[in-house]
Structure 1
Amino acid sequence: MSLRSALPEHLQAALVAGAALKQSGYRGRFAPTPSGPLHLGNLRTALVSWLLAREAGGAWLLRIDDLDTPRVRPGAIKSVLEDLRWLGLDWDAPVLRQSERRGLYNSVLSHLRRCGQLYACRCSRRDLAQAVIYPGTCRQRQLSWGWQAERLPAWRLRLDNAAAFDCGDVVVRRADGFIAYHLATAVDELTCGITTVVRGADLAPVRSAQVAVMAALGQPAPQYSHVPLLCDAAGQKLAKREGSEGLAPWRERQRRPEEVVGHLAAQLQLVPETSVLSARDLLQEFKGSGRALAALLQP
């Protein structure tokens, strides 16, 4: 029996529904982690993702990746929504929160474990410090799934064709009990019918792991594109943990949303420097230019 035919009825239904949504046309998404205010790099990615969806006449969804609760900051979700609305980036369905979908992710984990696709891994970060790809240390060890030395194991997805994905066996549940990012993201892309994932170039390396999870569920992956990173004067990627500038300074100086949109678009050489225009105006200008927005992206 194949993994796909062995899926429980409710999981099969969720995947079938997602596949049907894909047939309706372009479906993109923006999926921030609410660990603080969005910085300008996040907002530039959101703008490009929104433009591509609107250019294609498709849907643009907003998902909040809030499973890793220690990283979630009070008020961050409200801040994300306000920033996107202020810039004129609208979405086409109720906001999806991963924290409200744990039942679905756990059902997928249970299914994969029943099918023998998962195994317990007790490697520590120190054990793997020198490994670029997980070497399969615990693959054949038949370790306990329960508590041992006050620790639970991580759960890894056994990839018999790992070389084809250019990644090792993927962690799908962390040792601290949290559902892993790769598992939740892959399930969401599939069940929400996402056709095109547009995100920052720093996330390009995780594509293989997420495609591997999708393949384990018998599903094809969406198309991936990556927006070049926004860096500071030293050439370093902007990050929320470093207090990188978001919209707050602009709004405190009573700057208009159109100025921010123009600033972000000029960084991608979509418009001349000092351009002032709304997201809708930028969309119309780009549609009339005959240029391909996708040409600005990286694989």
Structure 2
Amino acid sequence: MPVPDHLLMGLEQGQRWRAEGRYRGRYAPSPTGVLHLGNLQTALLSWLQARQAGGLWLLRIDDLDTPRNRPGAVEAIQADLRWLGLDWDGEPMLQSSRRGLYSSWLSWLRRSALLFPCRCSRRELAGLARYPGTCREGSGGWGWRDRRLPSWRLRVPSDDPDRSGDVVVRRADGFIAYQLATVIDELVLGISDVVRGEDLREALPAQRSLYRALQQPPPRFHHGPLRCDAAGRKLSKREASAGLNSLREQGLDAAAVIGLLASDLGSVPSGTRLSAQELLEHLTQKGIHVSHS
């Protein structure tokens, strides 16, 4: 089924921005806690690449998962970015303000018979690289059963080049899934390039399958290195000690933190102090090192 005009109209501005060829990047944290150094490293890389390209850098707050959101986190995210000198263009955008848009695309996908209800639990699917199609041909229905609603999955063709399996687009608790909301936002905002952590590379197959289902081209994806703790584990927002407050308590100012992040990325010698703008000028000739997907 062709995408209806009213949905395509919602993409027109994003399509015009992309057609202009100007770099449009974004940083999209979730307000589930303080930004740790891994989050800030990704923000820095994303900001540097956008500014080096002479483009725009947008701030989007991925706040759809309301049970996990923490009071004051949105304001704290903005304060941390400002303190580091990572300025964004325009007003910050909240995904929670776009629920109607996501629901409209979801309705079209369902009317187009591209979705099916899935009643598999996380426990049943634990350890599987991709969804095995358990409920794909079933008749479990879309309504309540055993006091549970089903999740909604995109019916991804077996010959899909990314072999993503059938992607969840609406969770069993009724929340729009991260993958669908992210894909729609990149399109509406005309995002040309996405810079994010290496851990999100695994989201690429699902998102590319969604772009094909929505009949739209994806942006370019870049993945920066993960920042890990002393034991080699990826940093988590649960580790509040990894945030800026801990570094401030140790006497570090913004120039020291930017130098720390940049030296860990191999861009400047250890102990360097510089602002984000000074780092940008330093890297103008060297280029920003992120992997491309």
TM-score range, shorter chain: over 0.9
User: Does residue 231 in structure 1 map to residue 228 in structure 2?
Assistant: yes
Amino acid in structure 1 at the alignment position of 2:236: A
State the aligned residue count.
Answer: 292
Q: Is the 8 A contact 2:32 2:68 kept in 1?
A: yes
Q: In the alignment, which residue of structure 1 is the partner of 2:291?
A: 297
- Structure 2 counterparts to residues 90-239 of structure 1, below 5 A: 90-161=87-158, 163-239=160-236
SS of the aligned residue for 2:60 comes to: strand
The CA RMSD measured in Å over matched residues stands at 1.3
Equivalent residue for 1:29? 26
Q: Which runs of 5+ in 1 are unaligned?
A: none
Find out whether 1:19 has 2:15 as its counterpart: yes
Q: Which amino acid counterpart does residue 68 of structure 2 have in structure 1?
A: R
Q: Distance in 1 between matches of 2:15 and 2:30?
A: 25
- TM superposition shift of 1:126: 2.1
Give 1:160 deviation, angstroms.
Answer: 1.4
C-alpha contact (below 8 Å) 1:121/1:143 kept by paired residues: yes
Answer yes or no: is 1:258 the counterpart of 2:252.
no
Report the 3-state secondary structure (helix = DSSP H, G, I; strand = E; otherwise coil) of the residue aligned with 1:186: helix
- Asked if 2 retains the 8 angstrom alpha-carbon contact of 1:238 and 1:244, the reply is no
The answer to whether the 8 A contact 1:62-1:95 is kept is yes
Percent identity, aligned pairs only, is 54
Is 1:189–1:222's contact at 8 Å kept on the other side of the alignment?
Answer: yes
Q: Partner letter of residue 268 of structure 1? A: L
Q: Give the partner amino acid of 2:155.
A: R
Gaps (5+ residues) in structure 2? none
Task: Indicate the larger mover: 123-132 or 209-218.
Answer: 123-132
Which segments of structure 1 move beyond 2 Å, counting only runs of 4 or more?
6-10, 250-255, 295-299
C-alpha distance in 2, partners of 1:97/1:162?
A: 35
Displacement of 1:216 after TM fit? 0.6
Q: Scaled by the length of structure 2, what TM-score is found?
A: 0.96
Distance 1:131 1:234 in 2: 26
Counterpart of 1:172 in 2: which secondary structure?
strand
- Amino acid paired to 1:297: S
Q: Under a length normalisation based on structure 1, what TM-score does the superposition of the two structures give?
A: 0.94
| Partner residue, 1:9 | 5
- Structure 2 match to 1:284: 281
String of CA shifts for 1:4-63, please: whole Å, max 9, x gaps: xx3233310122221111123101110001110000010010001000000000000000
- Which of these residues, 83, 89, 99, is aligned with residue 86 of structure 1? 83
Report Cα offsets for 1:125-157 as digits up to 9, x if no partner: 122124221111111113211111100000000
Sort the Cα spacing of 1:279 and 1:177 in 2 relative to 1 into closer, same or farther, 3 A: same
